[in-house]
Amino acid sequence: MDNAFGQPQTIVVLGGTSEIGLAIAHQLLSPVTRHVVLACRDLVKGEQAAASLRGDGFEVSVAHFDGADTASHERVIGEIAERVGDLDVVVLAFGQLGHGEATGQDVAEAAALAHVNFTGAVSASVAVANRLRAQGHGTLVVLSSVAGERVRKANFVYGSTKAGLDGFAQGLGDSLVGTGARVLVVRPGFVHSQMTKGMPAAPFATTPDVVAQLTVKGLRAGRRTVWAPGILRVVFSVLRHLPGPVWRRLPLG
């Protein structure tokens, strides 16, 4: 359970090789940490990530988890909880960017991206929420994106999965009020990570460490939403209301 300073004993990262997910886990480490579980589809990469987190007084382990394999989610979450006890913070970090042109025109690619980023994220979140509700405490951190705030034509399948996920996560959070469990929705802008490697940076681009700092601050303050960086909240409150012809002409990639 989190202590009075909001420091969790047990941290789980779904998509345990995600740079943002790992940065959040790293920022959450404290003397009360007992277990960190990196749940990922590539166990070799997971072990490398685990090595970068290990320290004194807590265990870092790797579990197999595939966001696309929705039938396994309840079992995987259950097995992790059986092994490490109550889950204090679960970070839903898995996701794919896809290639805008391909996913916009290829039926199989569009469906595969939507399956992982939306269906898989919904399934894993419901499995986690059931566990947190039964415990009576714990936070699910959902990595949404500003890409879902107003969907860009350049990568509209990705953007739409984040729009759907964001709405789902807000509704899930509302449904958990009064249970002791909660949801924190994180909306990063462009983040320099494996996902965006080689891409030109968007305005207000940031790093996994900055997203992690803002996330941990939001967790400790009991916030429901975090923008990373915070200025994007203001920027998107304007962009959201631009007329379509103006929005379509913006050089947003």
Q: Are 132 and 138 in contact (CB under 8 A)?
A: yes
Among 9, 125, 145, 155, binds ligand NAP (CB under 6 A): 145
Based on the residue annotation, tell me whether 158 is a catalytic residue of this protein: yes
**Cβ proximity to ligand NAP, 66 vs 86, nearer residue:** 66
Q: Is 93 in the site for ligand NAP (CB under 6 A)?
A: yes
Q: Which of residues 8-67 bind ligand NAP (CB under 6 A)?
A: 15, 17-21, 40-42, 45, 65-67
91 in helix, strand or coil? strand
C-alpha dist (Å) from residue 146 to 82, 152, 171, 185, 205? 35, 10, 18, 11, 12
For the CB of residue 178, give the shortest distance to ligand NAP in the complex, in Å: 28
Q: Between β-strands 35-40 and 138-143, what pairing exists: parallel, antiparallel or unpaired?
A: unpaired
Provide the mask over 169-188, with x wherever binding to ligand NAP is found by CB under 6 A and - wherever it is not.
-------------------x
For tokens 């803002």, the residue is 214
Query: How many other CB atoms are found less than 10 A from the CB of residue 173?
Result: 20
**Cβ proximity to ligand NAP, 179 vs 225, nearer residue:** 225
Query: How many other CB atoms are found less than 10 A from the CB of residue 203?
Result: 10
**Cβ proximity to ligand NAP, 9 vs 87, nearer residue:** 87
137 in helix, strand or coil? coil
Which residues make up the interface to ligand NAP (CB under 6 A)?
A: 15, 17-21, 40-42, 45, 65-68, 93-96, 116, 143, 145, 188, 190-191, 193-196
Provide the annotated active-site residues: 158
